[in-house]
Structure 1
């Protein structure tokens, strides 16, 4: 039976709205990536999200980013590698401490936003993330190919290639930049179709031709409009197609 992990980036929205979103979407997931202060999140949201994950048996991971709360971590920040390493290590440590306080343990690390894309091409940034993940015994989650995957293999880390159910792709396998039309998929049927194609290793249609990606985890963004409905549609489509949903990095 085909097995796929279904993850979402959570702990990113403050207040009651954020708490309600996380609580509604968590039961539909097998893993989650928790914002830990770089682009969003604080001690309260970290503990809250981890507690919800624990209640539903969802494997939690760290979701660090460039220190860029104003830009939600979606801008590449010009920062020295030592300063970046210190910021990322601090973010992950803060989440580990929150996990200890809630009786949970992290399983993986997935960079957020611009950091995710830079790590796919920049060997130094990729190595920094791999070193931090290795120091805490965490798997790495990232693009199917590129520098981050190579850095994980160099550190002998488990690596989960990720596909996105709610983002469109280019013919080279990269995500369509968010500023372009059609970069974010908001139609639930389209999201479910893409999730099935990714899970089954089928070609995706792109403006420049088709591309096939081999992935082990599927992501949907918690801040994408209609995220809860999307999660329901995606999970239903996967299960109806006989695909088992589970977190391969769960300890």
Structure 2
């Protein structure tokens, strides 16, 4: 049976600033990555977002980033592996407090922004993040870009890992995401994106920017919910998957 998880970043509002349409998107996904207060989010937002996930029976994951509210965690910070290890563990603990108090487990960890991208290419940072997750909870699943150094480090260290696919992003021939500065890096045609998702699930392939097919095996699709068109895209994905006989369920039920 074909099955896939749909994950989305949530809880990125901060104080008086509202970011994203969390209430609208959460009913349509199966796992959520909740900001832990460093690149976005705050304690009240974390409490509310965990409660929302519980209400809709959606799996909860931590979404740690660099301590960079002004840059939304998208600026690279020169951090050592020891620092990254501590950063991740600290933010895991923050989300755990809110999840545990509401009777939920923390299913996974997905890094945010530059932390995600840097660990995807730097094996030393990837290993540090894997150690932090393993030391926090040996059953915690790392959600990583398929084919990245994060996936490789998790395999080598015996840390559970789920691989994600980006429905609206173009892929380079090496399996990495095409830089946003490159024309066509973001796919705006909903039908094209949906066809890519279905092909990835059924055939394990995606067409790269050079026109060649590359292998991509994934357990989760990353979707966004920060504008009205994104909400329409999420609902379109759910509808298309149902038509194709593909079940949506949190990857914690089939990745350990």
Please say whether Structure 1 and Structure 2 have the same fold, judged by a TM-score greater than 0.5. Answer: yes
Alpha-carbon spacing, 1:118–1:224, altered in 2? closer, same or farther (3 Å)? farther
Give the structure 2 partner of residue 85 of structure 1: 85
Q: How does 1:112-191 map to 2 (within 5 A)?
A: 112-137=112-137, 138-191=140-193
Give the drift of 1:84: 2.6
Alpha-carbon spacing, 1:179–1:109, altered in 2? closer, same or farther (3 Å)? same
Q: In 2, Cα distance between the equivalents of 1:248 and 1:202?
A: 17
Q: In 2, Cα distance between the equivalents of 1:201 and 1:152?
A: 24
Give the structure 1 partner of residue 72 of structure 2: 72
> Which SS does the other structure have where 1:107 is aligned?
strand
Cα deviation, 1:148-178, whole Å, max 9, x if unaligned, reads: 1122123322111110112111121111112
Contact (CA 8 Å) 1:188, 1:229: kept in 2 or not? no
Which stretch has the larger CA shift, 43-52 or 99-108?
99-108
Contact (CA 8 Å) 2:206, 2:215: kept in 1 or not? yes
Which stretch has the larger CA shift, 231-240 or 118-127?
118-127
Which stretch has the larger CA shift, 196-205 or 108-117?
196-205
Contact (CA 8 Å) 2:89, 2:133: kept in 1 or not? no
Q: In 2, Cα distance between the equivalents of 1:240 and 1:212?
A: 24
Which stretch has the larger CA shift, 25-34 or 175-184?
175-184
Give the structure 2 partner of residue 197 of structure 1: 199
Q: In 2, Cα distance between the equivalents of 1:35 and 1:59?
A: 14
Alpha-carbon spacing, 1:70–1:18, altered in 2? closer, same or farther (3 Å)? closer
| Paired positions, count | 250
Query: Where in structure 1 do 4 or more consecutive aligned residues deviate above 6 Å?
Result: none
The normalised TM-score by structure 1 is 0.91
Cα deviation, 1:191-230, whole Å, max 9, x if unaligned, reads: 3222212222353223312223111111112336622111
Q: Determine whether 1:108 maps to 2:108.
A: yes
Which stretch has the larger CA shift, 73-82 or 37-46?
73-82
Contact (CA 8 Å) 1:201, 1:215: kept in 2 or not? no
Q: How does 1:224-235 map to 2 (within 5 A)?
A: 226-235=229-238
Give the structure 1 partner of residue 5 of structure 2: 5
Q: In 2, Cα distance between the equivalents of 1:170 and 1:12?
A: 28
> Which SS does the other structure have where 1:66 is aligned?
coil
